[in-house]
Amino acid sequence: MTNYDAIDFSPIQALTEGEVITHSPTRDIRLASGKTLALITLDNGRDHTRPNTLGPATLTELGETLDGLKARAAAGEIQAVAITGKQYILAAGADLSDISKVGSRDNARLIAQLGHKVLGKLGDLGVPSFAFVNGLALGGGLEIALNSTYRTVDASAAAIALPEVFLGIIPGWGGAYLLPNLIGIENALEVVIANPLKQNRMLKPQQAFDLGIMDAIFPAANYLENSLAWADAVLGGKKVERKNEPGKIERLTKWPIAIKMARGMLESKIGTVPRSPYVALDLLDKAKSGTKAEGFAREDEALADLVVGDQFAASMYAFDLVQKRAKRPVGAPDKDLARKVTKVGIIGAGLMASQFALLFVRKMQVPVLITDLDQARVDKGVAYIHEEIGKLEAKGRLDADTASKLRGLVRGTVDKSEYADCDFVIEAVFEEVGVKQAVFREIEQHIAPDAILATNTSSLSVEEIGSALTNPERLVGFHFFNPVAVMPLIEIVKTPVTNQQSLSTAFVVAKGLGKNAVLTADAPGFVVNRLLAKVMGEAARAVYEGTPITTVEKAFAPLGLPMGPFQLIDLVGWKVAAHVQDTMVRAFPDRFYANANFHRLAELEAVIEKDKGGRVTGWTKAAQKILETESSPVDEATILRRVQDGLAQEIKIMLDEHVVPEVEDIDLCLILGAGWPFIDGGASPYLDREGASERAFGGSFHTPMIRGVEAR
């Protein structure tokens, strides 16, 4: 058992310089019963755009506040303690900038221990403690609630989560022990591991209540009053039911089975390279027995190990890109230059076009017009959009009035003259320059001279597409990623003649759609597809040499991508992949690889076989018959080195050619558009660490390299 009171925390007090301190003022509230509740309100003095965070100075002050309240409880002055936050926010967790500056494993352990010392006091006040989760509660913010005796939540709270595994660490202030003992192992696995690995999925308040994380949920209008009345009732003897709290049978039988299944699922989905999910899994496993003090001590050591590692350093780099750089796109013109978009036109009514229309109408709530070659295709597209709106309504994500309004905003036509008042027109037609030029030439006759045109091409030259236009300066590349509703990236492509109004409008529209935009030059494949084409090309080369497909898939596992190369190709479509590879080989024949196998396989209905977890297990019989291969297979290490060196070389060339301003933009594109893991920090920190940058061009992308404390 760790004696937290005997620990000297002075080494991390030096980390408080520059900390935005979240203070913990307290006021007494006389409850209806006559009892007195001391209410702490966490508040850093900033507005909602700067959430409360928990740095060393904040924790120290909160600890002193709780010590004072414990003394008052012992004196009989108060009968309960509650903790809540400033408007909309309880706390967004630890101050990550402080944690990333720890400097040593000992200091990392001290941060974990200080959190345990202070938050642990909430369960040792001598009177019941209540967490009134009035808003955002992430990481340490949620652990404040978990360390309290009881919890209520505001039904309008923005998000509730333990996102640490997403960032390469673990819930280190009680979450890994307290949560499974509150809501059971299966639910805890979902919150601690599964959700962070699903692009950092958060819980809504109702979900947190249903899982049993929260004991009560109240509407925003009277949240504090209702929470105080509920706390008074509990103090008066009201029984709090916790149906998901695990019993002896779950601990003996369900617990080990759930852990074993989760381990197998992790290995099949993400491989064994990421450390934090497996460390979290071990902590959740051990939480089934032993004391809280033992659980906290395990978290102290686990957090210390992870904080000083490469994966956390890379995660902090990636986190900074997504939280800061993505919100202020480099090269974006002044938003005041943008044309106001009051109506959107979409050329095409197929699946991709219909997904665009659904996104535009949901996010921007302006009229959306779609067209295609004939009325039957148009009607099919409109029907699809209406059906998807209906599904959202059925799930409760849209109310009936909003759903009806959105359906009314979507129209289909074959009369191009109806596009006359569209401000922004995007095409989603066949990926061929001539086809795209033809549809733009036709639509340009009907729209205003300064209406914006956008192409969703994935790899073609935007300048070449625009060469058929009377006003090519109004054309921008506006490249979505599939699935359109989910993937957060749009590559905005600027040609040598694109004007500032068109570019500004594209960035404003992207933001209006809830997407992150990155500006790229008009280069083949732009950023994401150019680099994925390198990955897929090296996979194709190895297969052509005679390497078994399962060996090739395993070779790519250390990259940490969400799926192997052939699993990815199968998702995007073999015809699309063949087209992208052809485009890249035409542009850079000495650096990219493609062969006839791509086109042969693209003609088949099914190309690869997969297991239940989605892992590639082999070729279909039809694919085996038409594959052309040599008999010089290579091993996993050779394949991995080829792709590492090829990526490092290509990224360096892209920077030299000014495809994007800086390497950070390439990493941001890969994280948001290809699911490149946070624990790698995108591609460049990984390639530096693996020595690929040195091998490819005799240098590194980052000086100093992005490494953990233990590797410096």
Which helix or strand (DSSP H or E) is residue 529 part of?
Answer: helix 528-544
Cα torsion for 336, 338, 343, 345, to the nearest 10°?
-160
* pLDDT value of residue 712: 63
Contact 553, 567 (CB under 8 A): yes
Contact 488, 460 (CB under 8 A): no
Rounded to 5 degrees, what angle do the CA atoms 466, 470, 474 make? 55
Contact 52, 22 (CB under 8 A): yes
Nearest CA-CA partner of 547 in 615, 609, 640:
640
* pLDDT value of residue 98: 67
Phi, psi dihedrals of residue 455, rounded to the nearest 5°: -115, 140
The structure's pTM equals 0.91
Supply the DSSP string of 600-627, one letter for each residue: HHHTSS--EEE-TTS-EEEE-HHHHHH-
* pLDDT block averages, 10 residues each, the chain of length 712: 91 84 97 98 93 95 98 98 97 81 90 97 98 98 98 97 95 98 98 93 97 98 98 97 94 96 89 92 97 97 95 93 92 96 96 95 97 95 96 92 96 96 96 95 95 94 96 97 90 97 98 97 95 94 95 90 88 87 93 91 93 88 94 96 97 97 96 90 94 97 91 66
Phi, psi dihedrals of residue 416, rounded to the nearest 5°: -65, -20
Nearest CA-CA partner of 134 in 23, 222, 30, 36:
222
Nearest CA-CA partner of 202 in 255, 141, 254, 116:
141
Q: What is the bridge-based pairing of β-strands 160-161 and 136-138?
A: parallel
Sequence-ordered alpha helix ranges (H) in 91-193: 96-99, 105-120, 140-147, 175-183, 185-189
Task: Read off the tokens for 61.
Answer: 């002050």
Distance between first and last Cα of the chain? 32
Nearest CA-CA partner of 352 in 503, 479, 173:
479
Q: How many CA atoms lie within 13 A of 627 on its CB side?
A: 22
d(CA 284, CA 531): 37
d(CA 537, CA 584): 10
Q: SS3 of 314, please?
A: helix
Contact 364, 514 (CB under 8 A): no
d(CA 637, CA 398): 50
| Amino acid letter, 330 | V
Task: Read off the tokens for 289.
Answer: 């027995």
**Beta strands across the sheet bearing 452-455:** 410-412, 368-371, 344-347, 424-427, 452-455, 475-479, 489-494, 516-521
d(CA 516, CA 529): 17
* pLDDT value of residue 101: 78
Q: What is the bridge-based pairing of β-strands 516-521 and 489-494?
A: parallel
Residues in the chain: 712
d(CA 437, CA 685): 40
Q: SS3 of 357, please?
A: helix
**350: phi > 0 → left, psi -120 to 50 → alpha, else beta; which?**
beta
